[in-house]
Structure formats: C-alpha cells, structure tokens
Structure 1
Amino acid sequence: MARLNLLEETRFEKVPVSVYANKEEASKVVANRIAAVIRKKQANGEHAILGLATGATPVKVYAELIRLHKEEGLSFKNVITFNLDEYFPMQPDAIQSYVTFMNKNLFDHVDIDQANINIPDGTLPASEIAAFCLAYEQKISELGGLDIQILGIGRTGHIGFNEPGSAPNSGTRLVTLDDLTRRDASRDFGGKENVPTKAITMGVGTIFKAKEIILMAWSENKAEIVRKAVEGEISSEIPATYLQLNDNVEFVLDTEAASLLTRFDKPWLAEDVEWTETLIKKAVVWLSLALHKPILKLTEEDYNANGMAKLVTESGPAYAINIKIFNELQHTITGWPGGKPNVDDSQRPERANPAKKNIILFSPHPDDDVISMGGTFIRLADQGHNIHVAYQTSGNTAVWDDDVLRYLEFAEDFADTMGIDVSSIRNLYQESNDIFANKKPNQIDTEIVRKIKAMIRKGEAIAGARFVGLANDHIHFQDLPFYDRGKFSKTVSLEDDIVQTMELLRAVKPHQVFAAGDFADPHGTHKVCFDVILEALIRLRQTDEWTKDCWLWLYRGAWHEYPIHEIEMAVPLSPQEVKRKRLAIFKHQSQKDLPVYPGDDAREFWVRAEDRTSETARLYDELGLANYEAIEAFVRWKFN
C-alpha cells in the first residue's frame, strides 16, 4: 500500500500530514490504526474508547472495520464509542440522523454492545441540553478519555460542528450551523430550508483531550480548506487550524485533498525539485500571474527570487524559457476545435484531417452541453462537422414540482381546445397535486412525475440543440438507467449504461468525443457519466479499428475551469458567440432564475458560465497572449 511523503513536514506545513494515492488506501490505513487500538485494549482487558465521525469521509473506514470484523475476527465487544455530533432537533430514526448513519454504516454489522454507543440526543427539550452536554463530557472523562478521535473537515473549516468563531477550549454544547454547512447538507434534506439550524457537538477542547487525533479529507473540493488548516495561521475563523496546537494530530489525505499544499501545488517553493516539462509550464504560468508580468517580461531575478534559480541554471537563460512556454500556450489557442483543414497541424491541438469529423458531445445533464462548451458546440456546427449530442441522463431530479403542474395545465387546456378527451390529464393533474401537497423533503418522485419532469428537460434540450443547428436525428436521449436506479440504491451496476453507450459510439464512429471532466465530487453524476464513456471506449478500442482515430476531449462545468497550465485546447469566443451561447442556455427555462440544486453559488448558470470563460480569457491576456472576450478550455484524455 503506497504512502506518499509519509509525515513529511515542510516549512509550510504546521501539522504532520500523510498522503495516499486514493481514499480507499487511506481509509484502510485509518481502519487498521483503529483496529490496533481495539486489539491492544483487548489484550489488556480494557475498553477501547473511540471518537467517531459521520459524513462521506469515514464511510470507507467503517466499511474496512466491518470487513475486519467479519473476515479477521475483530471484535467490538470491548469498544465504547462517542460520536462527535448530531443535528438538533433530530429524531433518531430520521434518514438524515447520525444515529441512522452509524447504524447503517457500522453498528448494525459488528458485535458492539448497544449500551456502549453514545451519540448526542437530538430529541431533548432545549432546557435539558446543557445538562446532557455536561454529562457527555463527564462520561468521556470517567472512562479515561478518548483513545482515538477521527475527524472530517467541513468547507468552513469546522471539525465536528465547531463552526467559525468556536473557542479552542470549547466543550460539548448546542451550536448554530454556518450557512455554508447547511448548504452542503441541503441535498440530504431536500433543500437548505429543511436543514436544521442547530446541532449538538463535542467541543474543540473535548477533541483535544483525545490521545490520538486523525483528520481525514478526500477529493479536490476539500483541497482549499485543507491547505488553510495545515499551512494557515491559527484562527477562530477556521477552527481546524487549532489542531496545529496539538502534538497528537495527523492529517490523512488523498492526493486530491492534498493537491493545494505547497509541496504539491508549488513544490519549487518548498524543496529542490526535478524540473519536468509539466512542472516548468506550471511554474512559469504561476510566476507570471503572481508577479502580474507577461511571460515574455519575466527576468532571471524573478526566477531566482521565487524558488526557480535551479530552473534558470539548468534550462536558461530566462528568456529562452519564457519563449518556450509562451509558444506552448499560444499553440493551445484555436478557432477550429474540429481541426483546421488543409494546414500544417503539427502545432495545433486538433488534426487537420478529416476536414469534416464525426463528433459526439456527451452531456451528463440536459444542459451541460450549452453551459459548459456552448460556444465550441456552436462553432463545430457552424464549421460543418457531423456533430451529435447525447444527453446521458434525464435530469428529472432538477425540476420544480410547480413546473409539472404548469405543464399539465397546458396539456389540459390544449386537449380541451382541440376537442380531445381531457379526463386522464385531469386525473393525473389531481394525483400529482395531491402528491406534492403531502410530499416530504427529499422524497423520491413517483414514476409518472419523474417521466413528466424528464419530458420537460427533454423539450428544453431539443430546443437548445436545435438552436445550435442540430437536426433531430442528431439529438440522442440516452436516459442511462443508473440515474433513476441511484435514487433507490447506492450500489448500482453500470453494465447496461456502458453497453448502451458502446452502441451509440459504434453507430456514429466519432473522430472526437467531448465529455464532462469535472471530478471534484466522485459520487456525482458527472463522474459516473464519464466512467461509463471511458469504459465504453476502452472496450471498443480492443475490437473496433475506428477507435484508433478517436480522441477524447474533456470540458469542465459552470463552476471552475482547468488551470491554465493544463489546458490543451483553448477555443476563443467573440462577443457575438458569447451571446449565442447565452441564448442556447436560455432554452433551458426550468433551470433559469433559480435551479433546484444551485449549489453554494447564487449566480444563474448562464452567468457562471460567462464569468468562467471570461476569467480564462483574462488570464491568457495577463500572461501576454491575445485578449479575447471569452475562452472555453479542454484537456485531452490520454489512453494508456
């Protein structure tokens, strides 16, 4: 099991950090450390006192503990557990309760004594909370304190539910949740308005008393807060920074969560590095933007003063490096995303031939195509390529219930006007109205409601693709089965999704495939959709000759772009093309103004998309390249 840079501290890192290739490996290590504590205590005839956390982060740790119990005889009979926190108010049998979470993910599968499980009580009268919290603290102390405490970290920097402003000596108490914390929990509760505003949590001081503390973090969306917690100044605004004061703490990360630590993000500032081509490009781009100087104006003094003296010594002079990186960035820019015919393509991101390419643009949701790469989509259609769009899922989850009623009202009026029997529509309208009136937060829609919502999004997608210039027979609605199955089960086979995708690819035989490449949420729809495409192409490459000429290009969504040094194709957009892209996005009326799942960004999707592409154009300009209205960026997937 590969551990990367074990406990390596640089002058930037203020706590010990272990980094593993992925969360699976890291979770097994943490589980084995917990198991070692349990076994040691068993050997001494003592109880093991564990501090446990909830959320997505520890799930695989608990899964490994269950495996150790079932396959290697790890017993929990001597284990006493204390959970970090619980929403308040919260019934223990609610789907969102941490009692339900712990039972489902650990306690129901091991031999722990139920009397040894301690979780804050979300059903208490407010008048009894203070006494409960004091008793919770006293029980931990009487047992000799926590032997090991595992933690996740929230995007506010909270540990447990110790939100910004928490004191380092705080004890178990009732707290008010930060708005960002509630937004992050909104999907579990069917909307932020349904997330409790308060919680009972162990305090920072309680956590600090543990003999061993392990903070875990996985995925790119935790990278920024991890960097602040590990390298930042101690501040009540980021409670996780208090862990810098504890000698028994270790951060256990996967490579993505660690990606913004200086030794990974800007290693030339932290240590002597081997300068690869990729690292040189990243460093020069960083230097230019950090100093607000175009690349071609960077000097040897600039390099020497910013940890890059060895680079100049090995590959200099500075101007030679500047010219090389400037030209590499310049060559990413193309107005011909499908390749420019009859030209030397050796310095271009795409091939000149064939002049007219078969292309499939895969869109995970029915609007990702125009939001994420609408300008390029329009350009490919305008330049005469044989372009198909494939909407991988129905997107029915992201439609308001009110829209269902509105469309049924239209259908009823239309049928009545045309002299068509409206009784079935009226019955469906009344049935849907009754369902919505009694619908609970996060309740899964009935099959007929899901179909209506899917039809709403299908109509919008057709309008958007038609606006771009596609004929109906080039618009494909895959409605991949995993999407609806995932509403009922977390373990879903992707086999029929892959087979269906292979059939579409074989029918089109594309020279180019465009797919969503934003993987910050490994359990999100975009990641699953990409996995389906990738597996389909990998299988086809074993049998189908046309795949040798098929390139896979990745685009990102409305929230963030690829870093400049990673971009391999940059498609500039004129002001007129930006407007056309905006109008294509507007065809998705159910997603305009206020989408069902807006995330933590208040901007409309079309605004996010325009801001993202204009920011990419601004960065290219700041680096000393041409000044465009907007740029859409792509990275080519490298098959082994």
Structure 2
Amino acid sequence: MKTTLLSKKSFDISYKPVGQFEETRFEKIHNVIFDSSSQASIIVAQEIAELIRKKQQQNLPCVLGLATGSSPIRVYEELVRMHKEEQLSFSNVITFNLDEYLPMEKDNRQSYWYFMHENLFNHVDIPSENINIPDGTLLGDDIIPYCLNYEQKIKDVGGLDFQLLGIGRTGHVGFNEPGSHYNSGTRVITLDHITRVDAAPAFLGIDNVPRRAITMGISTVHNARRIVLLGWGQNKADIIKKTVEGEISSEVPATYLQKHHNCTFVLDNGAGSKLTRNKTPWLVDESCEWNEILTAKAVLWLSITLNKSILSLTDKDYNDNGMSGLLAQQDSYDLNIKMFNSLQHTITGWPGGKPKADDTSRPERAQPEKKRVIIFSPHPDDDVISMGGTFDRLIEQGHDVHVAYQTSGNIAVTDTEALKFAEVLDNVNSSKKSKDLISAITTKTESGIDTLEVRKLKGSIRRGESFAATRYLGLPDTNVHFLDLPFYETGTIKKNNLTQDDVALMIDIIKKVKPHQIYAAGDLADPHGTHSVCLDAVFAALNDLKNEKFMEDCWVWLYRGAWHEWDIHEIEMAVPMSPTQVLKKRNAIFCHQSQKDGVMFQGDDTREFWMRAEERNKNTAEKYRKLGLAEYAAIEGFVRHRYI
C-alpha cells in the first residue's frame, strides 16, 4: 500500500484520515485529519523518507527545513527507526532549522541545537557539516550578516525541498510572531508574551525565557517547494480554525500559508475539531447523515447559538440553520422533547448510582448500592481539580473510594518551593542530607536536571499535599495510592515511552480493588502530554484485564476540567454541585499549595487551576439552564468509556 503524503491533488485515500480530503467552502488550506498524532507522524516521516530516497536516486541533495517543539518528535522518532531498521541514509540530506533562542548556548538543554541532536541528528548518518541551526550565541553587529548568510546558504543549495512546521498559539510559524511581514527573511525577532508564557515551564519560569530569537522569515518558509504543518491536540483547535478558515492577516502569520501551492496541514482529531466541517457539518452539507450523536450535537448547538431553550426551538430555527434534512426525518416538537429528556436523564446527584431506584433512565446502576471506586489522577491534584465535587459525593454516599495518583508530579514543583522545604528540614533537624538538598537546589545550573534526592523531595511535597486534600474530603489514608509510574521519572519535561512496567502497576491496583467504577482523566490538552500517556496506561490495563470476571461489572467514566470541559452533547453523566460543595472543592484544591500562585504548567490558560475549573463547572451548569433544565451552582461532566 502506498503510504506517502503527497500534495492535495494526489493524496492517497488509503490512509483513511477522518473527514474529507478537499477543502470545503470554509477552508483555504488543504488539511487531513487522523485518529492519532502517532499515526499521522508516521505518514509524514514516510513522505520525508521517500523524498530523501528519490533525491539519492537522482544523485541530488535533499534539503529539509526542520522544526522543533513537541509536534515533530514522533516524526523524528520514525525517521530514526527507518534509518536503523530500513537502512534509510541521511548522507545526502542538508538541513536548515527554523529558529533558535537568542541568547542561547548550544549545550543548554533548552536550545534547539540540543533538541535536534537529541531527537534526530545523534542517531542518523547525516554529515555534521550539512546541519544548519541558527546560532544563538551571536552578539551585536554579527547578527545581521549571519542572518543574511543563512538565507544565502539556503539559496546556494537550491532552496528548501520540504519544510516541516508546527504552529504556536499566536499563529506563529517558526518564531514569526503576529505582525510579521509576508516578505520577511531570516532575522532577529522579539518574542510575543504569549509565546514566552507557553515556553515558561521548560525554562522553569517566564523570567528565564529569552526575549528574542533568530527565525527564518515568512518568505523563506513560503519558498519551500513542499510544506507540511503538524497540529496536535484540542489546545491547537482554535488557532487551526483561524488559520485554515480565516482571512490572511499578519496578526495570524500562519494564514500566509493559504497562498502556498503545495501545503498540507496534518492534524489529529483534537486539532481539527473546530473546523466547520467537523464542529457544525450541517453548515457545510445539509444532506449529512443524521445519526444519534450528530443529531444531539446539532440540536444543542442550535439551542445555544440562538439562546433559546430546547423546547422552544421551531421548524424555522432548524431550516434557517442548515438542518432541513433533520426535519425531514421527524418534526421539531418530537425532536425537542426527545433531546430534552435525553439531556435531563444525564443529571444525577448519585454518581455511584441511587440505591433502590429505577435506573432505567439514570446514567449509573443502582446495584450494588455500595460500589468500589478507583479515581485515577495523572498528577497529584487532577482528582480534586477535575472531579472534586463528585469525589466528595462518592465518599459522602458511602462508597469504597480509592484514589491512585499515577505520577509523582515532581517536576511541577519549583526550585523555590523545594528550597523552602529543604530549609525547614535543615532548621528542624540539620543534617548532611538537608544541606546536600539545599546545595543541589541552589547550585543547579539553568540547563541542569534535579538530582534524585531533590526529585524525591519534590515528590514528597506533592504527596503531602495530596494527603491534605484527601483527608479534607474524608478519605482514609489507606485508600490513597501513589503509583509513581516509571515513564514520568526522567527529571525533565520530556518523558519516556509507556512500557509494560507502567501498565503492570495499573493492573495491580485494579486487581487489588476490583472496582465497579473507574474514573480517569480524558483531558488530553496538558502541554507536555502526561494526561495522554496516563490515559493510555489506563486503556492498556483495561485491555489486559478485560477477560477478568470482576471487570464485567466495571464501568469507566472519563472526566475533564483542568484544560477543557466536555461539550454538552458528549456528557453522559452530569453531577450537580451546591454552592457549599463548590467551596469545598475549592478548599481541596487549595491543599495543593505548591501549585498555587504561579503554577508551572498552566498551558494556554493563565488562571490558577481552581479558578479555571470552577468557572468551567459553573459554565456547564449555566448551559444546562439555558437549554431549559434546572438551575445549579455548578456541574461536573463525565463521558462513559466502553472498553468491552
């Protein structure tokens, strides 16, 4: 089977990406959507490999423009694999990287020179003289001639055959921030504040993020004969929609790619979720197939868009908004009633099931009355941030609740916070160990990694905070489990791949508890992918255990809240909270003191986690109210995962 991503005119549909291949009337850039970023990355790597081999056959150099960041890592991993297992040679490859921080030493772990060698160049046979990465050590008058020479070197080798891109939250490609001109070349640029905020976790604080960078220009990128932009995750969905469907504007530099003759955006489901053909396909094609899920999505969208309750929607409302095909199947009155009842049945104050009640129309089973429950929390605070109200309700209603923290969360503790605890330890019981901790923290270089002892200290801080929160909610210490999955314990933001050792720890706790309910984080938009890996660990464990007798009675519920919330049409269980419970949830989150007041991994939301979670819960309740249902202070939403 052919497995290369070619241009939009020759894209092989055997790849089976989600959605359609030709742009809709809303779209101005060719894009394809895959079920997973891993699958898509392999396809992109195969296209690059085919180009390299084609150039080798022609005895020509293959000139690649390369990107850094999390998006291309899987592409580089696949290229390395092909080099080692399929004899893909890079001997004819010449590379030009997009950008580099300024100032930045090559051996700094945050440098793009370090990134590229760590993820690609150290593992393939590319000649070192063929590697071109902007020099972050330049000063003063040396910079402008260097930038001009960088441009000339690209021209001298015949220009870029292929340019790989990611996209930033500001719409930047490379470091071409908002305001960049279409004709711009390689130059020094001042980084946008949002870009620096996004980079802050890697630099352990925004104060450590360089304010300037060297970047290829828009014109340099645009001159590449082929461009592929990678977009992964729901946190990229807004900027992808603006870029693909919006007008060309210097305020969103990526929109300049609309002018390129051979550009493809390669996306996963999350990144492509807000494109019109996915979010509201009835606006693209009124003859779309109206299944149950799409019908629910459309009716709720219509109600919210028109600011009308479900039961007050009319035939005209449907017809005026691209849903005439839906009305051809059933009239608006019956449709409204059916949707209202379906939504109403998601609401329950009994997340573990209401005892001795008819559960025909309830989201959870009545039996057994007292359930064994595991709440899997990727970090030591996701449990209370994302489902603190439901957590509290399950304990109050007498269920045997266990919480399992999948990772230590140690890298999210700042050196300042760790030093505070080390100094307290030294004051209470001064010892060589306490002084070594203080020395390790205070002498760590900007690109240094925490020692094992400092990582243990930071992990202990997170553990203590977790116990404070679970005790506050009334959970016995015996029901709190710290798994410390090995994939996380690298001491750096970059994590190892999930292994059977991680899955075995998940299997052990599930076998021990034999739960009737499992709650797991389905919130995959965290900046460094820990939630995604932790969910993969849950799914892998469930797959291994699916034939166990006790798993026949186990239901899995996915929660969100730290980064995004479920859309209303997705929610299958909505647990309302009273004002008192909202406050109790807030206090439980406050127990995680090291994550307050400038948390390290905030992503694209600068508010503290308790603020964003509280607002999302209140917004969900408000949406239910506007749809015509009862009014609540807040609601936590869950989606059931059917693994068997």
Give TM-score scaled by structure 1 length.
0.93
Please give the residue correspondences for 1:54-65 in structure 2 after superposition, counting only pairs within 5 Å.
54-65=68-79
Paired with 2:426 and 2:122, the residues of 1 have a C-alpha distance of 50
Which residue, 567, 571, 575 being the options, matches 1:567?
571
SS in 2 for 1:432: helix
Is the CA contact (8 Å cut-off) linking 1:190 and 1:442 kept in structure 2? Answer: no
Which residue, 487, 497, 503 being the options, matches 2:502?
497
Please give the residue correspondences for 1:282-301 in structure 2 after superposition, counting only pairs within 5 Å.
282-301=297-316
Residue number in structure 2 paired with 1:592? 596
After superposition, give the CA deviation of every residue in 1:139-198 in whole Å (9 maximum; x if it has no partner).
Answer: 222333222222111111111110111011111110011122222222322222222111
Counterpart of 2:64, as a letter, is L
Q: Say if 1:437 and 1:575 are closer, same or farther in 2 by CA, change over 3 A.
A: same
Paired with 1:530 and 1:217, the residues of 2 have a C-alpha distance of 20
SS in 1 for 2:201: helix
> Would you say 1:276 and 2:280 are equivalent positions?
no
Please give the residue correspondences for 1:19-418 in structure 2 after superposition, counting only pairs within 5 Å.
19-271=33-285, 272-314=287-329, 316-411=330-425
The farther-off stretch of 489-498 and 548-557 is 489-498
- After TM superposition, give the deviation of residue 405 of structure 1 in Å: 4.3
SS in 1 for 2:402: strand
- After TM superposition, give the deviation of residue 620 of structure 1 in Å: 0.8
Is the CA contact (8 Å cut-off) linking 1:120 and 1:200 kept in structure 2? Answer: yes
Is the CA contact (8 Å cut-off) linking 2:394 and 2:401 kept in structure 1? Answer: yes
Paired with 2:122 and 2:417, the residues of 1 have a C-alpha distance of 41
> Would you say 1:549 and 2:550 are equivalent positions?
no
After superposition, give the CA deviation of every residue in 1:317-351 in whole Å (9 maximum; x if it has no partner).
Answer: 11111111111110000011111111110100000
After superposition, give the CA deviation of every residue in 1:392-438 in whole Å (9 maximum; x if it has no partner).
Answer: 22222222334444445545665xxxxxxx4xx34333222222221
CA RMSD of aligned residues (A): 2.2
- After TM superposition, give the deviation of residue 489 of structure 1 in Å: 7.6
Is the CA contact (8 Å cut-off) linking 2:489 and 2:495 kept in structure 1? Answer: no
Q: Say if 1:6 and 1:633 are closer, same or farther in 2 by CA, change over 3 A.
A: closer
Q: Say if 1:283 and 1:403 are closer, same or farther in 2 by CA, change over 3 A.
A: same
Paired with 1:466 and 1:100, the residues of 2 have a C-alpha distance of 44
SS in 2 for 1:80: strand
- After TM superposition, give the deviation of residue 22 of structure 1 in Å: 2.4
Residue number in structure 2 paired with 1:445? 450
Which residue, 484, 487, 508 being the options, matches 2:489?
484
Counterpart of 1:295, as a letter, is I
Which residue, 430, 433, 440 being the options, matches 1:428?
433
- After TM superposition, give the deviation of residue 523 of structure 1 in Å: 5.3
Q: Say if 1:197 and 1:305 are closer, same or farther in 2 by CA, change over 3 A.
A: same
The farther-off stretch of 285-294 and 579-588 is 579-588
Paired with 2:374 and 2:290, the residues of 1 have a C-alpha distance of 37
Q: Say if 1:326 and 1:396 are closer, same or farther in 2 by CA, change over 3 A.
A: same
Is the CA contact (8 Å cut-off) linking 1:191 and 1:441 kept in structure 2? Answer: no
Paired with 2:74 and 2:552, the residues of 1 have a C-alpha distance of 38
The farther-off stretch of 533-542 and 207-216 is 533-542
Q: Say if 1:496 and 1:179 are closer, same or farther in 2 by CA, change over 3 A.
A: same
Residue number in structure 1 paired with 2:612? 608
The farther-off stretch of 155-164 and 36-45 is 36-45
The farther-off stretch of 226-235 and 81-90 is 81-90
Paired with 2:138 and 2:528, the residues of 1 have a C-alpha distance of 34
Paired with 1:114 and 1:568, the residues of 2 have a C-alpha distance of 55
SS in 2 for 1:189: coil
Q: Say if 1:437 and 1:491 are closer, same or farther in 2 by CA, change over 3 A.
A: closer
Counterpart of 1:244, as a letter, is Q
Paired with 2:332 and 2:398, the residues of 1 have a C-alpha distance of 43
Paired with 1:606 and 1:3, the residues of 2 have a C-alpha distance of 40
The farther-off stretch of 45-54 and 371-380 is 45-54
Q: Say if 1:243 and 1:404 are closer, same or farther in 2 by CA, change over 3 A.
A: closer
- After TM superposition, give the deviation of residue 447 of structure 1 in Å: 2.6
Counterpart of 1:288, as a letter, is S
SS in 2 for 1:514: strand
In structure 2, the gaps of 5 or more residues are: 1-13
Compare CA radii of gyration and give the structure with the larger one: 1
Paired with 2:271 and 2:225, the residues of 1 have a C-alpha distance of 25
Is the CA contact (8 Å cut-off) linking 2:487 and 2:496 kept in structure 1? Answer: no
Paired with 1:72 and 1:466, the residues of 2 have a C-alpha distance of 55
Paired with 1:481 and 1:65, the residues of 2 have a C-alpha distance of 26
- After TM superposition, give the deviation of residue 59 of structure 1 in Å: 2.3
Is the CA contact (8 Å cut-off) linking 1:156 and 1:238 kept in structure 2? Answer: yes
Paired with 1:262 and 1:126, the residues of 2 have a C-alpha distance of 47
Paired with 1:159 and 1:567, the residues of 2 have a C-alpha distance of 35
- After TM superposition, give the deviation of residue 508 of structure 1 in Å: 2.0
- After TM superposition, give the deviation of residue 80 of structure 1 in Å: 2.2
Residue number in structure 1 paired with 2:586? 582
Paired with 2:188 and 2:492, the residues of 1 have a C-alpha distance of 33
Residue number in structure 1 paired with 2:632? 628
Among all aligned residue pairs of Structure 1 and Structure 2, give the percentage whose two residues are the same amino acid. Answer: 56
Which residue, 425, 437, 462 being the options, matches 2:467?
462
- After TM superposition, give the deviation of residue 90 of structure 1 in Å: 1.5
SS in 1 for 2:304: helix
Paired with 1:536 and 1:40, the residues of 2 have a C-alpha distance of 43
SS in 2 for 1:612: helix
Aligned length: 629
- After TM superposition, give the deviation of residue 611 of structure 1 in Å: 0.8
